[in-house]
Structure 1
Amino acid sequence: MRATKAPRVIARDLSSEYVVTQIKAQMAEQCAIEVEATKALYTDQLGDERRRCQQTLEDREKRAEAFCDSLRAKYEELMLRQEATHQAQLLEMKTAMEHLVATHVPLVDHDWLLQDAKATAQQTAETQRHTSELNHASALTAALDAQRRELEATHGNALNSMQQQLRECQATNTNLTRMLHLKDKELEKLSKALQEERMLRAKKEAALQESCRHLLTLRNHGKAATAALRESKKLASALRHDVAAAQQLVAKGNADLVQATTAHAGTVKCLEQELLHLRQLFDLDKAAWQASDEKAHEKIASLKEALGEKTRTLVETQLLTQLDAQRAEQLKFNYEADISRAKSVHDEAKAALSAMGASKAELEEHVRRMQQQNQVLEERVATAAAAKEQMEAVARATHAALAQKVQATDAARKHLAAENTALKQELRMEQQLLKRP
């Protein structure tokens, strides 16, 4: 089995090597083809680059030749100009030499000429110096005058500007003072209005206090009415008790009256019987009267006294009965009067309570209106105070700005005045220097 497996492995290895060799050969051929293609491409690019470089070199050579030609032409033109200049200079030198030879003088004459020329030059220099000094002095004076006029004009303009600014500031200050005065008047008006509002508020507060006092009075009246109502109720109950007692008394009086009437009727009957008995006795004793006159008279007198006493008793009983009836009627009238008075007091108490309720509602409404008016007044006072503070702040800021502006203007005016004084002193000193010999 081993002898049969070995050749297969060798055959497989040989086939693999052949495949690798074939692949390598194909890759070598492909690489050679790519190398040839790349070489041909690089050769074409190199040819193109050579042609481009050749063209660039030809262009550069043409430009260099053109530059050399122009530079050569310029050089030749410069040499021609230099030659012409040298020729002109030689001609000038030759002409100067000829003039010098033609104007040559001896040495003595030359010294004399030099002295004369020196004197002439000194005189000319002196004249020029004096003229230049005069011109300088006149120019300096003119310049100083012009500067002085310019400074005066500047000072005048600055002074006018400052005066204009000062007038504007004064006008602004006057306007601000007028506005401040108007604001003060408005503030006074507001203060008066505030004072009036405060007085009105005080009056309303006084009215409110008066209303409160009136409310307290009404409350006290109500309490008094309630107490009076309670008292009237107590009095009515007492009157009821009194009426009941009076009724009892009336009933008792009626019973007493009936009893007295009955007793009176019995007494009258008794008296009539006694009178009849006395009459019988009188009739019986009439016969014996003649015999005993004194005894009869005494007995008649005693009988008359007894009859008068019984009559007086009857009259007193009738008077007491009439008095009891009148007392009962008076008690009934008093009871009815007390009842009507208690009803009137009760009605008055109810009316007072209803009026007190209406007054309380009116007072509460009045208090609410007063509180609203007080709140409005406080808001107006706060607004007026804020407006016053704002106006005072604006006025203070404006016044401070105006004061600063006036100070700046005054400082600028003082500075200009100092400069003007210094310039006048310099001008005076320069004029004194010019006046000196």
Structure 2
Amino acid sequence: MNKIYNPQPENWSEILKRPTQSFTDVEETVKQIFKEVQQKGDIAVSKYTNLFDGIEIKNILVTNEEIEKAKKEVSVELKEAIELAKNSIYKFHFAQKTTKIEVETTEGVSCWQEKRPIQKVGLYIPGGSAPLFSTVLMLVIPATIAGCKEIILCTPPDKNGNINPAILYTANLCGISKIYKVGGIQAIAGMTFGTETIPQVYKIFGPGNQFVTIAKQFASQNGVAIDMPAGPSELLVFADETAVPSYVASDLLSQAEHGKDSQVILVTISKNMLNDVEEEIYKQLEVLPRKEIAQVAINNSKLIYVDNEQIALDLINEYAPEHFIVCSKKEDYFINGIENAGSVFIGNYTPESAGDYASGTNHTLPTNGYSKSYSGVNLDSFQKAMTFQKISQKGIQKIGNPIELMAEAEGLQAHKNAVTLRLKNN
């Protein structure tokens, strides 16, 4: 791994750069596929599924028979684990529900805010070498609690045209019946424009590779909202001498195995910790089934030593990690001082894996520094806040003249007239 000692702030942006392609690297590919899907619908979707996934599928909608078969293929133990995770995620997201907020801003002027569900949402579930059935829970559960009327799910097929049984089982467990065997850019384009088979949605959710991330940004340019730009996974750990090196190494590797473009970083004020963690990483790496993938990610990752907690915190906030683990005797200092992170994990017994699966928090989080301005997926992600107002005769008398003056000052006579007429009739 790359060991860095006391980097100067002016060099942080270069040191902390993510190993991702630029937008322009994949823009033309995404643009071309979006154009074809918009014009040719299912034909274009089928073309690119054949090209990228190596399979020709006649019916992309998963059948009831396939779902029933999947139920039988998932072990009882895994079903119980999924049920436990489902309950935890439900509890945490249900607790995020809010009631109507109402206030009389002026006598006779009543204003209130209510939440309404987004009617049609599309969920993207990564497949490939790591079929993320846990992401089904993370997206379907809050969408259901929010009351979304139409929830569809797209996920890439394997080389035999099948969907991982755990994905189908989990989707069915959560009440999803519209599951499509479509992945990558063509899935995002299909949900953006709608095809003969795939419904058009109002908002798209879910993580993915760099192509999916750019595709989601294209979707937002075509009138469909997205949860956030969520690309390759990343983790930053702060560990002082109170941390357990083997735990820290295991956490770093847990994200490195996601993909070759993942990034993991250790920040520490202990040189011994830095060396011990590096030693543990290479020891644990040797026995990982996904060693080849993790190794590439580790090569792009950093072990950073700084002199004190203040410098560490400033550097962490500059990086704005998707996942942030803090193992420190001064954990409150970091908890109170962290401003930019998708999700925070505290202490030696809080692995990032817990948030990925069963603690209850959501694992769909902003990457690539976007935690400076984006939240992770939560209940509000599936809702809109609508405002209402009702003004009585007395109320319009109270605020009418100020409205007239402000409208006239902006040169908007019709705005003024809309109030003046009401005041004259009072």
TM-score (norm 2): 0.13
* Greater RCO (CA < 8 Å, at least 6 residues apart): 1
The structure richer in strand per residue is 2
TM-score (norm 1): 0.13
The structure richer in helix per residue is 1
